[in-house]
Structure 1
Amino acid sequence: MSERLAEVGRRIATVRQLGAVVNAMRGIAGARAQQSRALLPAIRAYAETAGRAIGQASRIAASSSRRPYGASTGKPGLIVFGAEQGFAGAFAEQVLNAVAADAADSQFFLVGERASAIATERDIRVDWHASLPNQAAALSVLATSIVEALYDHFAAKGSVPVTMVYPTWAASHGITIIRRALLPLDPRAFPVSGSREAPLTNLPSPELIERLAQEYVFAQLCEAAIEAFAAENEARMATMASAKTNIDGKLRALQLEERLTRQEEITAEVVELAAGARSRHAEDTSF
């Protein structure tokens, strides 16, 4: 009986250790999600500023014959922000499920090591992939890498339309997959400034608008990366919360088993003592 009690005790210790690990993972995911959410207002303000500048710059040479940035020629590009790690439920699978029909006919740019591994398992061709950083502050470096990969592809194949797909998370309904056209830029998104005077510039209008467009694209990629980073960590928080509930239930069951085992052991000892006492009493009365 004591061996059984020791085994239950070992199982309780193991479950408690697992609970501590789950709590730590949940705390790390929560901190990362909070850090990334704090960056979103600045990134959106940056994108809005670049957009307003494009609208103002378009007044300089409205009749310019410049080629639209990201004009549609050739195979389209698809940038997908997936999961970097596991322990987030079906998060990575949901993102890839949303783009499975488009991957074969696109130049496929994939972000996230976990998503890349799943794509390999599904025989989905990936033309370029990168890791999702572990720190929110490094997401701008990722956006720069994506921009450079796009430029390399444009140089080799010509300008193509590009779409980005990324997840967002809401506590009320979980993951939502966002699909947004990145290139070519929609002129309707950049209304011309109401000012009567055109802004003063030191660059030719086509080059100025081209550079501003690059800044705007960079900002859009940063926002998508931050949303994906936050969504993955929030999905992990939800998964770890569910795991903690299961662990707590298992721990309560083991603690109940431990109490019952201890009671059974005590009862058995009492029965043995009572049997021994009766045996000695019988021996004493036989003389």
Structure 2
Amino acid sequence: MAERLSDVEDRIDSVRQLSSVISAMRGIAAVRSREANARLAGIREYADTIGSAIAQALALYTEDGAGPGSDGSDTGRLFIVALCAEQGFVGAFNTHVLDAVQALVETVGMERADLLMVGSRGVGAARERGLEPVDCMAMAGHADQLAALANRLADRLFSRLQEGRASRVVIVSARPDEAHAAPYTVTRQTVFPFDFARFSPANLTQPPLVHLPAPLLLARLTDEYVFAELCEAVTLSYAAENDARMRAMIAARENVGRKLDELTATSRRLRQEQITEELIELAGAVRD
């Protein structure tokens, strides 16, 4: 009886330690999510500034009646950038992202699609589905690494575009659900061909001073805007990943709490049985 009680007490200690670890992981995920969300205002302000410059560049570009065109079409190769989780304990986060990737691949056929995977946990899950990435990158482990990751993604993306190995680029990623109906939503965002229709040419009463031809200026501004879109996508994905981890840790803590209650009840029962047995033995000794 004593041995069984000690075993249960050891399990209680282990479960309490596990609960402490889960609480710490939840706290870390919450901090990382806040750090990512705190960067979004600056990223969006930067994108708005570049967007305003694009609107002015479009006015210069269209003064002769011409407008920017696009070399991309849906008939060429599709390049998919999938943002998954780098670490575990995120529930079905990677599954939902890869479901969207697979649906996108099926629309064009695997032979016409290339996949760049971000996030080590997503790479293995993608291969289990028969999705073989042409390139893999680690997801940022800290909010300070997000801009560097966006830079590396931009380099890979622009390299493929310049080499003519992609005619359409789509980012598949998760972002926190603003309605709070779910931890996150999965979106598909086309970054190339670039949608100039989003920007109405500015009404320039006084044209800005420029030192570049309008087409070159517009091309460089477009590159900057795409970089801003990449920054926003990886930041939102990082925040969504940590939101999913928080939810998973909350569920895990509830399960651990229930298990701890069960073990505590068992421990009390065993202790009571042990006391009862000792009293019976003592009473027997007194009679003798």
TM-score tier after normalising by the smaller chain length: over 0.9
1:127 aligns with 2:112: no
1:173 aligns with 2:182: yes
Please name the residue that 1:6 is paired with: 6
Change (3 A) 1:69 1:50: farther
1:251 aligns with 2:260: yes
Deviation, structure 1 residue 194: 2.2
Change (3 A) 1:116 1:64: farther
Deviation, structure 1 residue 70: 5.7
* Separation (CA, whole Å) in 1 of partners of 2:33 and 2:149: 17
Structure 1 stretch 142-151 or stretch 170-179: which is displaced more?
170-179
Report the secondary structure of 1:77's partner residue.
strand
Alignment of 1:190-209 (within 5 A): 190-209=199-218
Report the secondary structure of 1:58's partner residue.
helix
* Kept in 2: contact 1:76–1:161 (CA 8 A): yes
For each residue in 1:115-162, what CA deviation from the matched residue of structure 2 results, as whole angstroms up to 9, or x when unmatched? 111112222121122111111121111111111111221233355121
* Kept in 1: contact 2:77–2:166 (CA 8 A): no
Q: Note the residue ranges of structure 2 that are not aligned, 5 or more in a row.
A: none
Structure 1 stretch 76-85 or stretch 261-270: which is displaced more?
76-85
Which residue identity does 2:173 align to in structure 1? Answer: Y
Please name the residue that 1:147 is paired with: 154
* Kept in 2: contact 1:68–1:184 (CA 8 A): no
Change (3 A) 1:147 1:54: same
Change (3 A) 1:165 1:183: same
1:234 aligns with 2:206: no
Deviation, structure 1 residue 69: 5.5
Which residue identity does 1:93 align to in structure 2? Answer: T
Q: Which one of 79, 83, 86 corresponds to residue 84 of structure 1?
A: 86
Report the secondary structure of 2:242's partner residue.
helix
Flag the structure with larger Rg: 1
* Kept in 2: contact 1:55–1:191 (CA 8 A): yes
Deviation, structure 1 residue 102: 2.7
Please name the residue that 1:107 is paired with: 114
Please name the residue that 1:164 is paired with: 171
* Separation (CA, whole Å) in 1 of partners of 2:269 and 2:216: 79
Which residue identity does 1:221 align to in structure 2? Answer: L
* Kept in 1: contact 2:58–2:67 (CA 8 A): no
When the two structures are aligned, how many residues end up with a matched partner? 279
Structure 1 stretch 66-75 or stretch 197-206: which is displaced more?
66-75
Structure 1 stretch 79-88 or stretch 260-269: which is displaced more?
79-88
Report the secondary structure of 2:281's partner residue.
helix
* Separation (CA, whole Å) in 1 of partners of 2:245 and 2:44: 25
Please name the residue that 1:282 is paired with: none
Which residue identity does 1:48 align to in structure 2? Answer: D
Which residue identity does 2:215 align to in structure 1? Answer: P
Change (3 A) 1:215 1:231: same
* Kept in 2: contact 1:98–1:177 (CA 8 A): yes
* Kept in 2: contact 1:78–1:109 (CA 8 A): yes
* Separation (CA, whole Å) in 1 of partners of 2:34 and 2:273: 50
* Kept in 2: contact 1:89–1:235 (CA 8 A): yes
* Kept in 2: contact 1:70–1:161 (CA 8 A): no
Deviation, structure 1 residue 270: 0.4
Which residue identity does 1:193 align to in structure 2? Answer: A
* Kept in 2: contact 1:60–1:199 (CA 8 A): no
1:183 aligns with 2:183: no
Alignment of 1:32-71 (within 5 A): 32-62=32-62, 63=64, 68=69, 71=72
Change (3 A) 1:203 1:64: farther
Which residue identity does 2:93 align to in structure 1? Answer: F
Please name the residue that 1:283 is paired with: none
Deviation, structure 1 residue 76: 1.8
* Separation (CA, whole Å) in 1 of partners of 2:282 and 2:81: 76
